[in-house]
Amino acid sequence: MSESNELKLSPVEAHKAESRYLRGTLAEEFADPALDHLSEANKSLIKFHGSYQQEDRDARKNRSKAGVGKVYMFMIRLKLPGGKLTAEQYLAMDDIAGQYANGSLRITTRQSFQFHGVLKNNMKATMAAINATLITTLGACGDINRNVISCPAPLPDPTRRQMMADCEAVAAHLAPRAGQQTYHEIWLNGQPQSFDNVPPEVAEPIYGKTYLPRKFKVAFALPHDNCTDILANCLGFLAITENGQPVGYNLYAGGGQGQTNSKPDTYPLLAQPIGFIELGEVLPAAEGIIKLFRDHGNRVDRKRARLKYVLNDWGLEKFREVFYRDYFPHPRREPRPVPITGLDLHHGWHRMAGDRFFLGLSVENGRIKDEGKLRMRSGLRAIVAQYRCEVRLTPQQDILLCGFTAADRPGVEALLQEYGIPRPETLSQVQRWSMACPAIPTCPLAITESERALPAVVDQLEAVLRDLDLADEPISVRMTGCPNGCARPYQSEIGLVGRSGTKYTIYMGGDAFGRRLNAEVLDGVPIEQIVPRLARVFAAFKAERTNGEPLGDYCARVGLEKLKQLVSSPL
C-alpha cells in the first residue's frame, strides 16, 4: 500500500470527525417531513445512537410500478448490559413493539432487544418511550463499545454476581461522554451543548473526536459456562474462582466473526489470552484495550478495522508488550491454566437464592411474536404482567423469567400451555441449539434468508437425526444471511452462511462450547441440498464416533478432506 493510500481514511472517519460528537444534522433530517431517508453522513452517525436505517426488501418486487421507490424504515437496538429488564421495562418494550415497530421483539445474540420496522416519523417518539423506562440505545451500534454481555442466569453463585456487577461497571465506564449530551439533545429535547472549545480528550476522554475504528465487543463468562461465546469478542473476561469466591479474570482479546467474501485477508478469529487480572483491575484493563484499539486500529479499510486484525498482524507477544507498556500500568501476570469446559443454555426451571426460581425458555431465532397456535409474545406478556418477574435475555437468543416462588410454578405452567409456548424439554436438541440472524427483509447486508429459512432446515435435521437415533445429540447449528457472522456461525458445529440467492456455504468442525473455529466444507449449496448432504456426515458420525464424542470433535478428528468428500459427492 502506498503512502498516499495509507493516508486516505475511510469516509466514515470524516463523518465522525465532522459530526460534532455524533450530532451531525440528525435532528434536522428527522424533523424534515419531506425526507424519507438520511444522508450518507447521518446514516453513519445514527448507528451510534442505536439505530440502522434499513429498507423493506420484501417491498422490492413492487419497485417496477410507476412512482414506487424504496421503502425505508429503521431498526432500533437497546443498550442492555447483561440483558436485564424489570417487569415494567419488559412490558413497556412490548408496548413499543406494538405501537411503533412491526409487532415483534427480537432478542439479539448480544442479549438485547431490537425493534424492526420503525418509521422515520416515529423515531423520536420511540426513542423517548424507550428512555422513559431508564433504558438507552446510545452505543448499541456504531464505532464504539457495544452492549456488554455476561451470563444472565441468577444462580446463587458469588462469581456470577461479581461478573454481572463488573459487566454493568464496564458498560458505564466505556459509555461516551459528549455523545451522551448529543443523544439527549436530539432525542429527549435536552439542552444543546457546544464542545467547540473543549479539547477532545476532555469531551470524550476514552474515545476522542473520531471514536473507534469500528465496533468493539466485550463479554464475561465462566470456564464451565461459556454461554456468551467469550472467544468471539474483542475483549473477554473469563472468571477465575478459588474456594468458591471470585478472585479475578483471565483477560482475552482479539476475537471476532466477520469476514468478506471478496477479501481473503479477512477471516474469523478466536480471542487470545493476554494475562490474569485481579478484580480491581477490570476497568483499567477494559479502558486500556479499547484505547489500544483506538490508537492502532485500521481507519483506512473498514473491512480490516477490527481489534482482531491488530492482534493477528502484530502477534500475541507484541500485543501484550504494547498493552502492558502503554495502556495498562499494572503487573503482567500469566493467564491462569483454566480452560473453557462447557456452555449452559439455562433452559427449564432453576433455583435462585433463597426460595425463588427462574424459568429459561427457548425462543426460536430470538423472535418473540404471535404466530398461529404459538403466541409467544402474548404469553410472555401475560406471565410478566401477572407475576411481575424480572426478565433476562441470553446471548443464545433465549429468555429467562426470574423470581417465582414454588407456589407460582403451576400457574406459570398453565399460562405456557394456554398460549402454546413449549417447555424446552419438549423441543429437539437441534432446535434448542440453533441460532439465526434476522437477514432478509430488514438487514441491508443480507445475501440470503436466515431467520425465516432456518426453521425449515431444522425440521429436516430433526427427521434425519431421529432416523439415525441421534436426536438427543446437542448439535449447534447457526445460520447467517451473509459472511458478517452476526449469529456466530464460525464457532458452531454446523455453520450455514449465505452465499447468493438460496445458496449457502457449509462450515463444519467447530465446537458447541465456542472453543474452536470450524472450516469451510462446501460452497454454493442450494438450501434444499443442505440436509441431504449433512446426513452423510451424521451417518459416518454415528458409525465412527468414539464413546460420547460430540459431532464437532468428530469432525475435527477425521479431518477436513473426509468431510469434504462426504458432503460434496453427488446426491
Residue-wise pLDDT for 376-431, tens only, equals 999 999 999 999 999 999 999 999 999 999 999 999 999 999 999 999 999 999 99
Q: Catalytic site residue 443?
A: yes
DSSP state for residue 222 in the 8-state scheme: B
Cβ atoms of 108 and 133 within 8 Å: the answer is no
Residue 5 has pLDDT above 90, yes or no: no
Give the amino acid at 522. Answer: L
Of 16, 84, 106, 146, which residue is the catalytic one? 146
> φ, ψ for residue 259 (rounded to 5)?
-150, 170
Distance CA 320, CA 519 (A): 28
**Is the bond leading into 532 cis (omega within 30 degrees of zero)?**
no
Q: Catalytic site residue 217?
A: yes
Distance CA 33, CA 289 (A): 42
- Give the pairing of strands 235-242 and 218-221: parallel
Distance CA 485, CA 443 (A): 13
Of 486, 488, 516, 533, which residue is the catalytic one? 486
pLDDT band, very low/low/confident/very high, at 61 (cuts 50, 70, 90): low
> φ, ψ for residue 93 (rounded to 5)?
-65, -35
Cβ atoms of 61 and 67 within 8 Å: the answer is no
Distance CA 266, CA 223 (A): 29
Of 217, 294, 308, 432, which residue is the catalytic one? 217
Q: Catalytic site residue 402?
A: no
For residue range 243-295, list pLDDT tens digits in order.
999 999 999 999 999 999 889 999 999 999 999 999 999 999 999 999 999 99
Strand ranges (DSSP E) for 264-417?
272-278, 348-351, 357-361, 367-368, 370-371, 374-375, 390-393, 399-404
Of 16, 215, 320, 515, which residue is the catalytic one? 215
Taking alpha carbons only, the member of 131, 134, 160 closest to residue 221 is 160
Cβ atoms of 215 and 52 within 8 Å: the answer is no
Of 16, 47, 77, 294, which residue is the catalytic one? 77
Q: Catalytic site residue 151?
A: no
For residue range 136-183, list pLDDT tens digits in order.
999 999 999 999 999 999 999 999 999 999 999 999 999 999 999 999
Of 141, 151, 402, 437, which residue is the catalytic one? 437
Q: Catalytic site residue 306?
A: no
Q: Catalytic site residue 167?
A: no
Mean pLDDT over each residue of the chain, to the nearest integer: 95
Dihedral sign computed on CA atoms, order 521, 526, 529, 531 = positive
Of 160, 482, 515, 533, which residue is the catalytic one? 482
pLDDT of residue 189: 86
pLDDT of residue 64: 54
pLDDT band, very low/low/confident/very high, at 194 (cuts 50, 70, 90): confident
